[in-house]
A and B are shown apart, each in its own frame.
Chain A
């Protein structure tokens, strides 16, 4: 699940595919990815919550950038529920922990609703993966 990470995490984020465009995107944006997660297709809320909790507990990142490509099989709303549940479990305020959330695709309307409830603005597909990575890095500098 969490395969490796560096000592000083700059960016922790989750994604679903083995090819790693958001890794490259975060490098291009001037940050080192703190870890890599292979979520697998169609993860449950519990699975997303468990590994996000691990990230938060083990890496203690300042923020989470949740950046995935447009999803089909994976449900965006379940990813949102899992990440938020993990933040709450770790005693962290979701809105200040999640700097970027870009998971467009299946069930995105429900996903936006859940995030809005916690004061988080979801990025839609008009924001590319590169741009999402730049925003995540920008949020670290702010």
Chain B
């Protein structure tokens, strides 16, 4: 059974105009993920690979109905970005940014807990439900993703991005597909632990 994301997930990318975010936005679109909006304060009205950019998460949600926030913003801005997504009512935040100050992470995770929002990461590589959607840079470009990840019944949760893909690749080459693969993040403080992820499956 897939968890967290599927083909109907509508993704807003916070920090979409950044180098890394723009790169994996394209990868996600190529894979078929519905990336419906991006947010970069001050760059509202722009487009990234055809995805409209808004100044605020609330504007993006109102215009597009986004229900997954994918965050790739500079570490010092991550707390504000996470709080903004939580306040906009996003049920799921996937945080790619690494090196966020731990105090900021604690603050954001507590706010998410109170609001009932799930956080994957920080320092996640993303989540993939093979054949349906991927968010973040997990697996790389769409053509390379297909070589490692195939739809099936085995779930993967890992602290390591590299080993997530390595494991999926081993399974795929043994003819075993995957339901959803989650890179929970390598930091001490994370929103969804390995145990949490196993319980979701």
- Cβ of A108 and Cβ of B144 under 8 Å apart? yes
Contact with B along A1-44 (1 / 0, CB 8 A): 00000000000000011110100000000000000000001100
How far, in whole Å, are A99 and B42 apart by their CA atoms in the complex? 49
* A40, closest chain B residue (CB): B98
- Cβ of B148 and Cβ of A105 under 8 Å apart? yes
Stretch with Cβ within 8 A of B (4 or more), from A49-57, A69-77, A84-92, A133-141: A69-77
User: A residues within 8 A CB of B159?
Assistant: 19
How far, in whole Å, are A129 and B162 apart by their CA atoms in the complex? 12
User: Is A60 in the interface zone, CB < 8 Å from B?
Assistant: no
User: Is A104 in the interface zone, CB < 8 Å from B?
Assistant: yes
- Cβ of B162 and Cβ of A107 under 8 Å apart? no
User: Is B130 in the interface zone, CB < 8 Å from A?
Assistant: no
From B20, B24, B98, B165, contact of A71 by CB (8 A): B165
Contact with A along B170-186 (1 / 0, CB 8 A): 10010000000000001
- Cβ of A125 and Cβ of B169 under 8 Å apart? yes
**What is the interface residue range for chain B against chain A?**
20 to 34
How far, in whole Å, are A65 and B91 apart by their CA atoms in the complex? 44
Contact with A along B97-127 (1 / 0, CB 8 A): 0100000000000000000000000000100
* B172, closest chain A residue (CB): A125
User: A residues within 8 A CB of B161?
Assistant: 17, 41, 72-73
**What is the interface residue range for chain A against chain B?**
20 to 34
Instruction: Tell me how many residue pairs across A and B have CB atoms closer than 8 Å.
Output: 73
How far, in whole Å, are A16 and B159 apart by their CA atoms in the complex? 13
From A19, A73, A109, contact of B125 by CB (8 A): A73
Query: If A17-B160, A107-B144 touch, does A72 touch B125 (CB 8 Å cutoff)?
Result: yes
How far, in whole Å, are A69 and B141 apart by their CA atoms in the complex? 16
How far, in whole Å, are A83 and B159 apart by their CA atoms in the complex? 27
User: B residues within 8 A CB of A58?
Assistant: none
Query: If A73-B125, A106-B144 touch, does A17 touch B163 (CB 8 Å cutoff)?
Result: yes
* B27, closest chain A residue (CB): A106
Contact with A along B127-167 (1 / 0, CB 8 A): 00000000001111101100110000000000111111110
User: Is A64 in the interface zone, CB < 8 Å from B?
Assistant: no
From A21, A125, A128, contact of B163 by CB (8 A): A21
- Cβ of B141 and Cβ of A70 under 8 Å apart? no
26 A–B pairs (Cβ distance < 8 Å), ordered by A: A17-B162, A18-B160, A18-B186, A19-B160, A41-B125, A69-B162, A69-B163, A69-B165, A70-B162, A70-B165, A70-B166, A71-B162, A72-B139, A72-B162, A72-B164, A72-B165, A73-B138, A73-B140, A74-B162, A75-B140, A104-B169, A105-B165, A107-B140, A107-B141, A125-B147, A126-B173
For the complex with contacts A19-B163, A128-B170, 4 further pairs of A-B residues with Cβ separation under 8 Å are A72-B125, A72-B139, A73-B161, A106-B139
